[in-house]
Amino acid sequence: MGLDVVWAERWVRRTAEVVAEAKDELTELDRQIGDGDHGENLHRGFQAVVAKLDEPDAAERTEVGDVLKLVATTLMSKVGGASGPLYGTAFLRAAKRSARPEVDTSGVVVLLEAALEGVTSRGRAEPGEKTMVDALTPAVEAATAAAAAGQDPVEVLAAAADAAEAGARATVPMVATKGRASYLGERSAGHEDPGARSTALVLGAARDAALAGPDR
């Protein structure tokens, strides 16, 4: 059983929902160590993506990558700050590696690996620097391990989402050495990174979308 275009669109819509629910939380996290606009920026971006999905004259999307490319281009044009370029690049890289009607277990891993490559190449961040990479890296590692253990695509996504959640929480004691939060030095410790938190939300939405499928 693979994850198809229906799943991809459901993922986008679920992400828009969870980001809307967490908008104030993300904004407060970002206010503590950043610009204070992360929640609002992501909320605006994913609302715009959903609007694009709902356009009556939208081109037919037949591949998972078609949906992810729509996310990428919309976020890049609608979201300011660092979020737009970083998430946009992540989804664009993932789109290029999922140009098929559905993704299987290995395809999920490849999609996540591509997203991580996009973020690290764009943001030049490494694990331990208190960024979204600290949620995305363990997600990729967990997905890889789950796939190697013979789990199905939904189980692989669930493993990735759980690992991203744990990775986001693990940023709390870290001292930021990348991005605006790094200006605070030691004072950045004690706060969860907003980008890592939103990454966990996005991957949790991917899992929820898969679990909502007809075979679950």
- Domain presence at residue 153: yes
pLDDT of residue 16: 97
**What pTM did the predictor assign?**
0.94
Please check whether residue 78 lies inside any domain of the structure.
yes
Query: In 3D, which of 68, 73, 206, 74 has the Cα closest to residue 136?
Result: 206
pLDDT of residue 58: 67
Would residue 182 count as lying in a domain?
Answer: yes
Which tokens sit at 83? 């979020």
Mean pLDDT of the 137-154 span: 97
Does residue 97 belong to any structural domain of this protein?
Answer: yes
CATH number, domain with residue 206: 1.25.40.340
**Pairwise CA distance, residues 48 & 71, whole Å:** 9
Decide if 36 is inside a domain.
yes
**Does 215 fall in a domain?**
no
Mean pLDDT computed over 159-175: 95
Band of pLDDT at residue 206, cut at 50, 70 and 90: very high
Residue 104: the pLDDT is 96
Residue 183 is predicted with a pLDDT of 65
Residue 63: inside a domain, yes or no?
yes
Residues near 130 by beta carbon (within 8 Å), at least 6 away in sequence: 171, 174, 175, 176, 177, 178, 181, 188, 193, 196
User: How confident is residue 186, by pLDDT bands cut at 50, 70 and 90?
Assistant: confident
Spacing of C-alpha 164 from chain mean position: 9
Segments forming the whole domain that contains residue 44: 3-210
- Mean of the per-residue pLDDT values of the chain: 91
**How many structural domains does the chain have?**
1
Is residue 216 domain-resident? no
pLDDT (tens digit, 9 = 90+) per residue, 64-118? 999 999 999 999 998 877 788 999 999 999 999 999 999 999 999 999 999 999 9
Closest CA relative to residue 34, chosen from 166, 137, 178, 168: 178
CB atoms inside a 10 Å sphere around CB 122:
17
